[in-house]
Structure 1
């Protein structure tokens, strides 16, 4: 059976380390994918407004599973939107404040929010990932639908911190690594695979007709669920172990190389 859906993570996967991709090569591929009726999905932990900026000419044609599955957009139209309860938000804030994080961002539908006392360098770094970012005096009672918390720590501490966060607030949110020392606290049951499932149902596409590319912990569910779960060469070990195939690194256009193989009906994508 031929592939009908391709889902790609962005940071560390579709994008190189400079947050760029080979636009000319991809657009040629995209037009061929579109002609064949193959759906292209951007599946990321990042903000929708940031994600669509990478695809200005086709942002209203493709689908986005943003905020780790909490916000799903198809052809410019909202399909699904999750929401974290106010009680959960308060409890998570109380716990997170006990940790020595380097940054904390609360991600909502209208905007992302960062504390007004944040250092200038940390704010400038966050702006790379959040096109809509507001400074606020506190995170409680924000007038927005909240999707997740995004935290940053020292890379060497991530594994231990994940265990600690799962133990302390795992019943309220699901802690997942998103690479480079970042940990997202997401709504339980909402992840990239759940967002892709919504789109699959909408389009009448099955898991055995789907491919997904990823490199970090928040890609685990989608990599494990679809028939063609593909890890990047630079992926975390857990993602490589869960994947069926491995492509070249994000700096070697590994996703685009695999898309070429899909279009050419080459191994391992022979229908």
Structure 2
């Protein structure tokens, strides 16, 4: 069985800690992937507009599972997006605004939205992940399609807040960790693995022909779904335990090393 799809998370996985990757080496590997008919998919919690900025030359020919599966764009074409009802959006926002230590970004199709009342350091950090970010007075009457909330909070409150939100929003949204001090609220079932499944059905690709890479709680489903799920060396222990395979640190080109093995049909891709 040969590999037909390779999907990468970005932060802490494909990108190093400086938010960079070896562009020359990837360009060589990508040319070989195209020759072998292997699809390349970027599967990230980040905003679509931010993700395409990392791949200016090829964004029109690869696929993106953005906002943790909330929006799927394939070869420049809108393929899928989740959508909260107005009532669900208001239910979630009304509760989040009662949590004093939580900064909120409402993730829409056109923009991310956050509040003017938050401190400048948070807004600056948010802009690094959201190329389109609107700073607003409040979250009412926003005209957009919403499929995710990104929350920023102190690390020490993360676990308790996850539990509280899971109970509070049962059936409407699911909290997943997406890095230090951050939680994403996603629509149930609208995760990265669902985005990949949509693309796989479109292309006729089986889970046994898929390689995925990740390092966080929002990667769990796609690491489990693919036959070749690789956790990064820098991933938390619980992520390493659920992944079938491991690769090196994000600062040591762990993803590119495995892609090279897949292209050469070396272990474990030679079985």
Q: Same fold by TM (over 0.5)?
A: yes
Q: Which residue of 1 aligns with 2:265?
A: 265
Where structure 1 has 5 or more consecutive residues not aligned to the other structure, the ranges are: none
Q: Which residue of 2 aligns with 1:41?
A: 41
SS in 2 for 1:177: strand
Q: Which residue of 1 aligns with 2:168?
A: 168
Q: Which residue of 1 aligns with 2:234?
A: 234
**CA-atom RMSD in angstroms:** 1.0
Give the C-alpha shift of residue 103 in structure 1: 2.1
Contact 1:73 1:79 in 2 (8 A): yes
Q: Which region of structure 1 is more displaced relative to structure 2, 134-143 or 248-257?
A: 134-143
What are the residue-to-residue correspondences of 1:242-253 with 2, within 5 Å? Answer: 242-253=242-253
Q: Which residue of 2 aligns with 1:30?
A: 30
Give the C-alpha shift of residue 140 in structure 1: 2.3
SS in 1 for 2:21: coil
Give the distance between the partners of 2:63 and 2:101, measured in 1 at CA: 32
Contact 1:115 1:137 in 2 (8 A): yes
Give the C-alpha shift of residue 102 in structure 1: 4.6
What are the residue-to-residue correspondences of 1:187-266 with 2, within 5 Å? Answer: 187-266=187-266
Give the distance between the partners of 1:113 and 1:162, measured in 2 at CA: 22
Q: Which residue of 2 aligns with 1:134?
A: 134
SS in 1 for 2:130: coil
Give the C-alpha shift of residue 155 in structure 1: 1.7
Runs of 4+ in 1 over 4 A off after TM superposition: none
Structure 2 residue 18 is the aligned partner of structure 1 residue 6: no
Give the C-alpha shift of residue 31 in structure 1: 0.4
Question: Could you list the per-position Cα deviations for residues 54-94 of structure 1 after superposition, in whole angstroms to 9, with x for gaps in the alignment?
Answer: 00000001000001111101111111111111111111112
Give the distance between the partners of 2:120 and 2:126, measured in 1 at CA: 10
Question: Could you list the per-position Cα deviations for residues 10-36 of structure 1 after superposition, in whole angstroms to 9, with x for gaps in the alignment?
Answer: 011000111111101111000000111
Aligned residue pairs total 271
SS in 2 for 1:90: helix
Q: Which residue of 1 aligns with 2:179?
A: 179
Give the distance between the partners of 2:263 and 2:174, measured in 1 at CA: 36
Where structure 2 has 5 or more consecutive residues not aligned to the other structure, the ranges are: none
Give the distance between the partners of 1:236 and 1:148, measured in 2 at CA: 24
SS in 1 for 2:65: strand
Give the distance between the partners of 2:18 and 2:103, measured in 1 at CA: 21
Q: Which residue of 2 aligns with 1:58?
A: 58
Give the C-alpha shift of residue 98 in structure 1: 2.3
Contact 1:86 1:141 in 2 (8 A): no
Contact 2:96 2:102 in 1 (8 A): no
After TM superposition, the score normalised by the length of structure 1 is 0.98
Give the distance between the partners of 1:43 and 1:137, measured in 2 at CA: 31
Q: Which residue of 2 aligns with 1:90?
A: 90
